[in-house]
C-alpha cells in the first residue's frame, strides 16, 4: 500500500504520520507538505529515516505538481490533513484559506479520481475536517453527523466547502471517500497561535494571557494522540461515503480551562499558587466568535469502538511537560515571523 498523507509536518498530521509509519511496516507513507509557518520537520525527526517513510515538499494548490506525484507514486490511499487551520488568520486573509483548503482539496480529488477511475476497489480518500463546519451551538445540544452545515468563519466556510467537494466527488464520480469532523485538539507539537500552546508559552515568559470577550466560550477538547488513533481506525474500518464525528466528551469554558492550565503551570514551574492567573487579561472579542462546540461521538463509538483514552487533566499535564521539555522547539517556532504575527494580533 502506498499511502499519501498531506499536511504531515503540522500538528495533527505529524502524529498521524508517526502512528502509521510505526504501525504499518508493510505500507509506504508519503508525507506531502508545503512547510508553511505551521509545518515543521522537527516534529518528525524520530521517524524521518524509517525505510517506509518519504517526505515530499510541495504545495497542494499546484495542480500539475499534485497530478505528477499521483502518477509517479500511484497512491492507494490518501489521508488529507493539509490546510490553513487558524480562525484568526482566516479573518485577516480569507483567500489563503480558499486556495489551500478548497482549491488544494479539489486538486487532490481530481488527481485521485484520475488515477483510480478504472478501478476504485481498495482505494480510499480520507478527508480530515472539523466540527466548526456545523457553526455554533447554544447552551444545549450536540453536533451529530446529520447536523446542518452552518459555518461562521472564513476558516470553517472553507472547510465546509472542501467537505462538500469530497462528498460531491463520491456522488458524481463514485470516488470512495470517508470524512471525519473532529473537535478541538491539544497536545505536543501544537503551534503556539492556538489557545493552549499560546497560553503555555506566555505563562513560561510571564506575558499576558489574552482571553477573548468574556471567556465564556465553550470548546470540546481531545488529546491529539486519541485523534490520531481515531483517524487510523476510520481510514481502515470506516464505511465508504460516511462521515464520523470525533470528540472528547470534554467541554470546557475557555476561562475555566485557562484557570486549570494556570494552576498546573504554577505547580510545574514551582511558582506560588495564583501567580499565572494574574496574567489573565480580557481582550477584544474575535469577530463572529462561535459560542459553543460539542460533539456527539456515539457513531464512531458504537460502529468502530473508538473512545478517548486520555482524561483532560492527564492530557493537559502531558502537554505542559512536553512544552517544558522541548524548549528549543518552542524557541525555534516563536522566533522570526511569529513575533510579527503576535504584534499584529495582540498589540
Binding interface with ligand TYD (CB under 6 A): 87, 184, 194-195, 198, 210-212, 217, 219, 254, 286
Cα dist from 292 to 91, 195, 251, whole Å: 19, 15, 9
- For cell 450536540, the residue is 142
By CB under 6 A, the residues from 55 to 94 that bind ligand NAD are 59-61, 81-85
If one asks whether residue 36 binds ligand NAD (CB under 6 A), the answer comes out as: yes
Partner whose footprint covers residue 212, from ligand NAD, ligand TYD, none (CB < 5 to 8 Å by kind): ligand TYD
Of the ranges 20-28, 30-38, 278-286, 331-339, which one interacts with ligand NAD (CB under 6 A)? 30-38
Q: How far is the CB of 273 from ligand NAD (least distance, A)?
A: 30
Calpha distance 5→40 (Å, rounded)? 15
- Nearest residue to 213 (alpha-carbon basis) of 104, 108, 287, 312: 287
If one asks whether residue 229 binds ligand NAD (CB under 6 A), the answer comes out as: no
CB distance 29 to 54 below 8 Å:
yes
Question: Which residues, 6+ apart, have CB-to-CB distance to 27 below 8 Å?
Answer: 1, 2, 3, 20, 52
Calpha distance 188→330 (Å, rounded)? 11
- Name the residue nearer to ligand TYD (CB basis): 253 or 275: 253
Tell me the residue nearest to ligand NAD as measured from the CB.
10
If one asks whether residue 185 binds ligand NAD (CB under 6 A), the answer comes out as: yes
Q: Which of 4, 17, 21, 33 binds ligand NAD (CB under 6 A)?
A: 33
- Name the residue nearer to ligand NAD (CB basis): 59 or 290: 59
Q: Catalytic: which of 30, 53, 134, 155? A: 155
Q: Catalytic: which of 131, 145, 193, 226? A: 131
Partner whose footprint covers residue 11, from ligand TYD, ligand NAD, none (CB < 5 to 8 Å by kind): ligand NAD
Q: Which three cell numbers stand for residue 264?
A: 498546573
Annotation says 42 is catalytic: no
The helix-helix angle for 105-116 and 154-173 (nearest 10°) equals: 10
User: What do you get for the CA distance between the two ends of the chain, in Å?
Assistant: 49
User: How many Cα atoms sit within 13 Å of 137 on the Cβ side?
Assistant: 20
Of the ranges 8-16, 202-210, 252-260, 271-279, which one interacts with ligand NAD (CB under 6 A)? 8-16
Partner whose footprint covers residue 198, from ligand TYD, ligand NAD, none (CB < 5 to 8 Å by kind): ligand TYD
If one asks whether residue 110 binds ligand NAD (CB under 6 A), the answer comes out as: no
Partner whose footprint covers residue 30, from ligand NAD, ligand TYD, none (CB < 5 to 8 Å by kind): none
> DSSP per residue over 250-302, as a string?
-EEEHHHHHHHHHHHHHHHHTPPTTTGGGGEEEEPPPTT---B--B--HHHHH
Torsions phi, psi for 212 (to 5 deg)? -75, 135
- Name the residue nearer to ligand TYD (CB basis): 125 or 221: 221
- Name the residue nearer to ligand TYD (CB basis): 37 or 173: 37
Annotation says 131 is catalytic: yes
Strands 177-182 and 53-57: unpaired
Calpha distance 186→221 (Å, rounded)? 7
Helix, coil or strand: residue 92: helix
- Name the residue nearer to ligand NAD (CB basis): 79 or 279: 79
Q: Catalytic: which of 132, 220, 229, 251? A: 132
- Name the residue nearer to ligand NAD (CB basis): 87 or 209: 87
Cα 28–chain centre separation: 22
- Residues with a catalytic annotation lie at 131-132, 155
* Contact positions vs ligand NAD (CB under 6 A): 6-7, 9-13, 33-36, 38-39, 59-61, 81-85, 100, 104, 128-130, 159, 182, 184-185, 191
Amino acid at each position: 500500500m502506498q499511502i499519501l498523507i498531506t499536511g504531515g509536518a503540522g500538528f495533527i498530521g505529524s502524529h498521524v504520520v508517526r502512528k502509521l509509519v510505526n504501525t504499518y511496516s508493510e505500507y509506504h507513507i508519503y508525507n506531502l507538505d508545503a512547510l508553511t509557518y505551521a509545518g515543521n520537520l522537527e516534529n518528525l525527526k524520530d521517524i524521518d529515516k524509517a525505510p517506509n517513510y518519504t517526505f515530499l515538499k510541495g504545495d497542494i494548490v499546484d495542480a500539475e505538481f499534485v497530478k505528477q506525484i499521483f502518477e509517479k507514486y500511484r497512491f492507494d490511499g490518501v489521508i488529507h490533513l493539509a490546510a490553513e487551520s487558524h480562525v484568526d488568520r482566516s479573518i485577516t486573509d480569507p483567500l489563503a484559506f480558499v486556495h489551500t483548503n478548497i482549491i488544494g482539496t479539489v486538486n487532490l480529488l481530481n488527481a485521485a479520481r484520475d488515477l483510480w477511475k478504472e478501478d476504485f476497489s481498495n482505494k480510499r480518500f480520507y478527508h480530515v475536517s472539523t466540527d466548526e463546519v456545523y457553526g455554533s451551538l447554544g447552551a444545549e445540544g450536540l453536533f451529530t453527523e446529520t447536523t446542518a452545515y452552518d459555518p461562521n468563519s472564513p476558516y470553517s466556510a472553507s472547510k465546509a466547502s472542501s467537505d462538500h467537494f469530497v462528498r460531491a466527488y463520491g456522488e458524481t464520480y463514485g470516488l470512495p471517500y470517508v470524512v471525519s469532523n473532529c473537535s478541538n485538539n491539544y497536545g505536543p507539537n501544537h503551534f503556539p497561535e492556538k489557545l493552549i500552546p499560546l497560553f503555555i508559552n506566555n505563562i513560561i515568559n510571564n506575558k499576558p494571557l489574552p482571553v477573548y470577550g468574556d471567556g465564556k466560550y465553550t470548546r470540546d477538547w481531545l488529546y491529539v494522540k486519541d485523534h490520531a488513533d481515531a483517524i487510523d481506525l476510520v481510514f481502515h474500518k470506516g464505511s465508504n461515503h460516511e462521515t464520523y464525528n470525533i470528540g472528547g466528551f470534554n467541554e470546557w469554558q475557555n476561562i475555566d480551562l485557562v484557570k486549570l492550565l494556570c494552576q498546573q503551570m504554577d505547580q510545574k514551574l514551582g511558582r506560588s499558587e495564583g501567580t499565572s492567573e494574574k496574567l489573565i487579561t480580557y481582550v477584544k472579542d474575535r469577530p463572529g466568535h462561535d459560542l459553543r462546540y460539542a460533539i456527539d461521538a456515539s457513531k464512531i463509538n458504537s460502529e468502530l469502538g473508538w473512545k478517548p483514552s486520555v482524561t483532560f487533566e492527564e492530557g493537559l499535564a502531558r502537554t505542559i511537560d512536553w512544552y517544558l521539555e522541548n524548549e528549543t522547539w518552542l524557541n525555534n517556532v516563536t522566533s522570526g515571523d511569529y513575533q510579527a504575527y503576535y504584534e499584529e494580533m495582540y498589540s
